[in-house]
Structure formats: C-alpha cells, structure tokens
Structure 1
Amino acid sequence: MITLHHVPQSRSMRVLWLLHELEVPDFQVQVHPFDRGLRSPEFLTLSPAGRVPAMEIEGERMFESGAMIEYLCERFPERNLGREPSNPDRMAWLTWLHFAETVTVHAAALTQQHIMLYEDYMRSPYIMQLEAKRLAKCYEAIEARLSTPVENRDYLLTSGFSAVDIAVGQAVYVGRHFVKTDDYPELSAWYERITERSSFAATMAVGEQKLYTEAFYAPWPFPERSET
C-alpha cells in the first residue's frame, strides 16, 4: 500500500499527479493543511524537515519528491514514464527532472514573499523582482527546449510524454501565479497540453483548502523615494 502525505498545490502535487498517471492501484492520500501540524513529532517521523511530500510504502518512508518520482517510475515501468539507463533519453530525463526543482526554488521564494509573509513591511519588492526574473529565465530554458527542431516535439523528451513533464509542469503551475507565460508560446502550448490530461484534473480535485487563492499575484510596488 502507498500512502502519500499531501498539501494541495505544493511539491507533493507532482507526486500525486504521477500516481494518477501511473494508474497505481489503491493508493491513499492523506491531505494536510499548510500549518504547524507539519512540525508535529508524528509528522517529523515521516519527513524530518517537516515538509511534504512524505510517502509511506509498505513500512518504508520517503520524503523527497524527486526521489519519489524516480522510484515510482522504476516500480511501475509499464506506463513508460521513466527512462532506463540504456535509453537515449535517460540523460535528458534526469536533467529535466532535477530542473523542476530549480524552477520551484524561485516559485517558492515568490510564494513566501506574496503569501507567507503576512505583514507588508516583511515583503521586499526587490526580492520579488529578482526572483521573478530568475523564474522567467527558467521559462526561457523550457521554451528553448520545446522550440528545438525535432519531429513531434510535444514534450520535453524526444521520446514523448514522461514524468519530467509532470515535474516541470507542476513547477510551472506554481510559477504562473507570479510570472505569466504569455510571452512563451511553446511553453504555453505544452503546459495546456499536459494539463488537459485526466491525471491533472484528478490531482486538482484532491483537497479543498488551497494555498493560492488568486490566479495571479501582481508584483509588489517599489516604495517611493523621498526627495532630498
């Protein structure tokens, strides 16, 4: 039995999406609110940093989403969402799997600035601008990959849809709350393509409490400078 500990719209979303896409039978999802409960002694036995995802598998525990994706693809190879070491796309698969975390780091910093810091004085428009530019750079990398002149370039890998589309797609899902993708036509088309899958809809249907209550968070204005 597989049990995924999940906070909607967080990194655990990519693992839940993958579980649906793999058509894993009889897995369970335990939904948690994004609060101090993740720091409870009980939850820390599952994830020592007090973060999601955490996953229980037949008495064993995992607490890193990238590792979960690799493990699940190996455990359920029949859906062909991973790439074996002998596969020509293995190097690209690993690269884009870990690039998802690069995208997420900047999206998470913007989430902290816009949502987690409740008081205005805590927020920094300078950090917001810097992280937005870094996130846009990640979009550029994805756009360049999808613009590569390869026949049927619908997904990040030449060999077709895989778990890396899920991992990067989830990171872009979060990023789009802060930096729009309108200026990236190939990325936008790819994102629409992967989120039309039934596995994405099933993922979004889990959990009522959402972290992002707005579709887009406008940049915080720079403070006015006084004249001297």
Structure 2
Amino acid sequence: MITLYHVPQSRSMRVLWLLNELEVEHRLVEMPFDGSLGTEEFLTRSPAGRVPALEIEGERMFESGAMVIYLCERFPERGMGRLEGAMDRMAWLVWVHFAETLTQHVSSLVLQHIVLGDEASAATKRVETARIEQCYAAIEARLSTPVENRDYLLTGGYSAADICVGQAVYMARHFARTDDYPELRAWFARITERQSYLDALPGPSASRMFEREFYE
C-alpha cells in the first residue's frame, strides 16, 4: 500500500495527480495546513515538517520531485516517465525539475499575500510576480516550438513533466495572469481536462491555503 500525506494546494498535489494517472492503489491522508505538520509523529515521515510525505513498503520519502521520479520508474507501464536512453529523457528531467523553479516564486507570494498580511513587501510582490511571468514565458516558448504534435511539453507526449509543471501553473495562476501566453493557456486547459487532475483538486470540505486570486 502507498500512503500519501497531502495538503490541498501544495506540492503534494503533483504527487496525488501522478498517483491518479498511474492508477495505482493508494491511501490519502489529508493534513490541515497547521501545526500538525510539526508534530513528533509527522516529523518521522518528513523531517522538515513539510508535505508531501510518502510511505511505500515500509520506506518513507519526503521530496515531491524524488517521489515523481521514483513512482514513474516503479510503474513504467503507464508511460509517465522517460527511462534512461529514451528520446525525451533529458527534456523530461528538465521540466520535472523546472516545476520547482516556478513553485519557489509561488511560495514567496503565498508568504507575502497570505502569511505576512500588512507586513508584506510590495517590492517583493512585484519581483516575484515578474519571475512567475518569466517562467510562463519559458513554458510558452517550449510549447511554441515548431514540432509536430506539440500538445505537451515533451515531443513524445503527455508525461509527469506536464503534471509537475501543470500543478505549479495551477498554483501560480492565483498570483499572475496567463492572458498573454496563449500556448500555455491551451496546454493548461488540455491537461486539466483529465480526470486524474480533477480528482486531485481540493474537495468541497477540504482546507485550502487560499480561496481567491491575488493579482496586483
């Protein structure tokens, strides 16, 4: 049994989305975004007190990027990964990890808009929003490359790279508009039609880090 410790609207969503796509049996433990992540019990699963945490066959993992790579390699039959020697292996690794480049700027804006409140820095908000837009531009450029069947980030089609970057864009869209990036918008609409994504969204009663957009 695979157990995922998850907070809605966090990095753990990318792992849940992937598990849904892999169609492997798993147990979901939804954690509130509060002090329970710092309990002694949870710190045995994730020593920094962060989600996601993953338990599989008695072993524990606590980095979402590592989980994505491990799960894709453990369950290769669904084609979500690109194994060593595959045509798209290099690009797959780049885009799986690029998700974290975008997410770090999202995390900064979560801190500014939600945690700090009146103590937030207007300058930091502007800088981090601009950096999100730079990431959007990088995705737009990739999707605009004149390659046949460029519906996804990889030439070989849909993969965990789309899941990782798509989840980062899902978060980023709360802080920076995508209006000026038509290829990104079309790609995001395409990947979020999938049932695996819909099943990874917060449920009606789930706790959320935010409920609205924070555009400046």
Which TM-score tier does this pair reach, normalised by the shorter chain? over 0.9
Counterpart selection for 2:154 from 157, 161, 185: 157
Paired with 2:98 and 2:62, the residues of 1 have a C-alpha distance of 18
Deviations 1:171-201, CA, capped at 9 Å, x for gaps = 0000000001010000000000000000011
The count of corresponding residues between Structure 1 and Structure 2 is 215
| Aligned residue in 2 for 1:88 | 87
| Aligned residue in 1 for 2:21 | 21
How far off is 1:66 after superposition?
0.3
Note if 1:46 corresponds to 2:45: yes
Deviations 1:136-180, CA, capped at 9 Å, x for gaps = 000000000000000110000000000010000000000000001
| Aligned residue in 2 for 1:116 | 115
> 2:178 aligns to what SS in structure 1?
coil
> 2:200 aligns to what SS in structure 1?
helix
Note if 1:136 corresponds to 2:136: no
| Aligned residue in 2 for 1:8 | 8
Counterpart selection for 1:210 from 200, 208, 211: 208
How far off is 1:218 after superposition?
2.4
Paired with 2:209 and 2:145, the residues of 1 have a C-alpha distance of 35
Note if 1:68 corresponds to 2:67: yes
How far off is 1:55 after superposition?
0.3
Paired with 2:12 and 2:42, the residues of 1 have a C-alpha distance of 15
Paired with 1:126 and 1:21, the residues of 2 have a C-alpha distance of 39
Q: Report the AA paired with residue 5 of structure 1.
A: Y
Provide runs of 4+ in structure 1 moved above 4 Å. none
| Aligned residue in 2 for 1:169 | 166
Aligned-residue Cα RMSD (Å) equals 0.9
How far off is 1:209 after superposition?
1.1
Greater gyration radius = 1
> 1:180 aligns to what SS in structure 2?
coil
> 2:60 aligns to what SS in structure 1?
strand
- List gaps (5 residues or longer) in structure 1: 220-228
| Aligned residue in 2 for 1:224 | none
- List gaps (5 residues or longer) in structure 2: none
Note if 1:181 corresponds to 2:178: yes
How far off is 1:212 after superposition?
1.5
| Aligned residue in 2 for 1:35 | 34
Paired with 2:197 and 2:88, the residues of 1 have a C-alpha distance of 24
Q: Report the AA paired with residue 62 of structure 2.
A: F
Deviations 1:55-99, CA, capped at 9 Å, x for gaps = 000110000000000000011111000001110100000000110
For residues 192-207 of structure 1, the aligned pairs below 5 Å read 192-206=189-203
TM-score, normalised by the number of residues in structure 2:
0.98
